[in-house]
């Protein structure tokens, strides 16, 4: 089963400011990841090609990295996730930048069931909260904050207990 999942937000900021957020991922100064509600993104070294880590229970390796512009992660867990996810920073117009996240996988084995039932709802919530975090960081407010569905809240509680 092929999966393409895209999240993006147009931010009233220049690409350099948004790129700085991207470059802060997994660092002690991380201003992109929504730490308050999600397991942290961590790696065995600084954000660079070859760094291995992820956010529990999802594991990946930095496959490509263009500072301030793009980072691509190749999955190594969970089982059946064959593909990648990436953040991109693109100037959409003068003074506006699009921050996007694309997940592209071929789901096989257990992932054919776990992706639509568990991982997709959690992934969607995480990415929208990540985009809220980015918007707050570069503009000082969030125009339309994301609100989790009842199902997403239930899954987060279950994962926190099992976790």
Residue 133, phi then psi, degrees to nearest 5: -60, -45
Q: How many CA atoms lie within 13 A of 143 on its CB side?
A: 8
Query: What whole-number distance in Å separates Cα of residue 54 and Cα of residue 62?
Result: 9
Q: What is the pLDDT of residue 131?
A: 98
Q: What is the pLDDT of residue 111?
A: 97
Q: What is the pLDDT of residue 162?
A: 84
Query: What whole-number distance in Å separates Cα of residue 147 and Cα of residue 86?
Result: 23
**Percent of the chain residues topping a pLDDT of 70:** 99
Q: What is the pLDDT of residue 26?
A: 97
Q: What is the pLDDT of residue 56?
A: 87
Intervals of the chain under pLDDT 50: none
Which domains are seen in the chain, by residue range?
2-162 (3.30.530.20)
**Mean predicted lDDT score pLDDT of the chain:** 96
Query: What whole-number distance in Å separates Cα of residue 108 and Cα of residue 114?
Result: 10
């Amino acid at each position: 089963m092929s999966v393409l999942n895209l999240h993006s937000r147009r931010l009233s900021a220049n690409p350099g400011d948004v790129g700085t957020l991207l470059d802060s991922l997994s660092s002690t100064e991380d201003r992109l990841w929504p730490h308050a509600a999600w397991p942290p993104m961590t790696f065995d070294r600084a954000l660079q090609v070859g760094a291995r880590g992820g956010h529990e229970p999802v594991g990946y390796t930095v496959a490509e990295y263009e500072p301030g512009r793009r980072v691509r992660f190749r999955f190594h867990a969970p089982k059946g996730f064959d593909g990648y996810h990436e953040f991109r920073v693109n100037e959409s117009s003068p003074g506006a930048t699009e921050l996007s996240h694309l997940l592209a996988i071929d789901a096989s084995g257990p992932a054919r069931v776990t992706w639509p039932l568990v991982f997709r709802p959690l992934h969607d919530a995480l990415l929208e909260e990540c985009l809220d975090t980015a918007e707050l960081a570069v503009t000082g407010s969030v125009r339309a904050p994301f609100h989790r569905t009842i199902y997403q809240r239930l899954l987060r509680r279950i994962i926190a207990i099992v976790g």
